[in-house]
């Protein structure tokens, strides 16, 4: 029978594996706003562009959705978080802007300043 410490060690290892396998530690994480108001503003199309880029292998990112940020006048929003860099929040993102964020920011490391929330 395993000791309590063995159980704790096993649970810890399982948790670490979940974190790694789900991509939470990826060097680039992208969060698309998917609250009801953001969906109404077009975030489904934005998410679709990022999903296509992931599925095609164009980018290697952790992609997820986020809830309401309370910035309805700036929706849809996209947040790009890179290891050891300040997170970047993009506002009023549409399908075309999503493609450009993928191409310029994620693939080439160039933040598109004019689209960011300050």
pLDDT tens profile 40-63:
999 999 999 999 999 999 998 999
Q: Among candidates 118, 34, 30, which has minimal Cα distance to 76?
A: 34
Give the global pTM.
0.83
Q: Residue 66: beta bridge partners?
A: 33
Asked if the model's pLDDT at residue 83 lies above 90, the reply is no
Q: Among candidates 101, 60, 59, 95, which has minimal Cα distance to 79?
A: 101
101: DSSP letter: I
**Strand 62-66 and strand 88-90: pairing?**
unpaired
| CATH code of the region 25-115 | 3.40.30.10
**How confident is the prediction for the chain on average, in pLDDT?**
93
d(CA 13, CA 29): 23
């Amino acid at each position: 029978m395993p000791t309590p410490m063995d159980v704790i060690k096993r649970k810890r290892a399982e948790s670490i594996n979940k974190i790694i396998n789900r991509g939470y530690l990826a060097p680039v994480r992208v969060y698309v706003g998917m609250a009801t108001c953001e969906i109404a503003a077009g975030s489904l199309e934005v998410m679709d562009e990022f999903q296509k880029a992931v599925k095609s292998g164009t980018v290697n990112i952790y992609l997820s959705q986020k809830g309401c940020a309370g910035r309805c006048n700036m929706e849809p929003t996209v947040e790009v978080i890179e290891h050891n860099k300040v997170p970047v929040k993009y506002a009023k993102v549409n399908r075309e802007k999503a493609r450009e964020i993928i191409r310029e920011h994620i693939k080439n490391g160039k933040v598109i300043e004019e689209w960011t929330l300050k």
